[in-house]
């Protein structure tokens, strides 16, 4: 008889954070592009250069991006929540993580609401936003302390 396991969001985030560390700053997620450091030298990262973007796109043209949010102590919260044995405490810790992510996402979205950006997806348990954004939105996002990285949301080539 098989066993089924329920994995809390904190454990999922902890696992993803470990994956990020193992892959040296590059995170691969199903259905998303690779996420990584904004620096030009990082392999796998598809950082957006707003100057190039504005030269190659009309200023009102929307592009798909993934925004990595700067959620205070997300790694610490995830590590602490991952080791909780009490289900009530684990749920409370998961809720705290979700609330922290939502608070930062709300702040970012409030600051870009006038730019014409459209939300594709908000993630409850990952500090990410999937957006359709104008080049002006990208420029504004890069100035926000709540934003760690902005990557192009382009499909990866199939693996052979």
- pLDDT per residue as tens digits for the range 31-71: 333 333 333 333 344 555 554 444 454 556 899 999 999 99
**Domain assignment present for 160:** no
Residue 128 CB partners (closer than 8 Å, separation 6+): 32, 35, 66, 67, 68, 69
DSSP H stretches of helix in 1-153: 9-22, 50-56, 74-82, 87-112, 135-141
For residue 3, being part of any structural domain is answered with no
Q: Does residue 4 lie within any of the structural domains?
A: no
Q: Return the structure tokens found at 53.
A: 């973007």
Q: 101 and 124 in contact (C-beta within 8 Å)?
A: yes
Residue 157 inside a domain? The answer is no
Mean pLDDT confidence for 97-106 = 98
Residue 77 belongs to what domain range? Answer: 9-152
Residue 125 within a domain = yes
Residues 6+ apart with CB under 8 A from 58: none
Q: What is the pLDDT of residues 105-116, one digit of tens each?
A: 999 999 999 999
For 29, 101, 159, the CA distances from 126, given in Å and listed in that order, are: 11, 7, 25
List Cβ neighbours of 101 (8 Å cut-off, separation of 6 or more): 69, 71, 74, 123, 124, 125, 126, 127
**Residue 128 structure tokens:** 């990410």
Number of domains in the chain: 1
For the full predicted model, state whether its pTM sits above 0.85: no
| 25 three-class SS | coil
């Amino acid at each position: 008889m098989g066993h089924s396991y329920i994995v809390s969001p904190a454990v999922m985030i902890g696992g993803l954070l470990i994956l990020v560390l193992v892959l040296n700053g590059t995170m691969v997620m199903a259905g998303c592009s690779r996420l990584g450091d904004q620096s030009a030298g990082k392999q796998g990262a598809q950082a957006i250069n707003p100057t190039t973007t504005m030269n190659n796109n009309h200023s009102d043209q929307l592009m798909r991006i993934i925004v990595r949010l700067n959620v205070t102590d997300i790694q610490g919260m995830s590590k602490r929540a991952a080791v909780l044995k009490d289900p009530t405490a684990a749920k409370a810790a998961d809720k705290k993580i979700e609330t922290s992510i939502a608070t930062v996402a709300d702040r970012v979205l409030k600051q870009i609401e006038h730019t014409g950006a459209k939300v594709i997806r908000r993630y409850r348990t990952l500090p990410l936003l999937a957006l359709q954004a104008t080049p002006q939105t990208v420029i504004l996002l890069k100035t926000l302390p709540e934003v760690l990285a902005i990557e192009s949301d382009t499909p990866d080539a199939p693996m052979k």
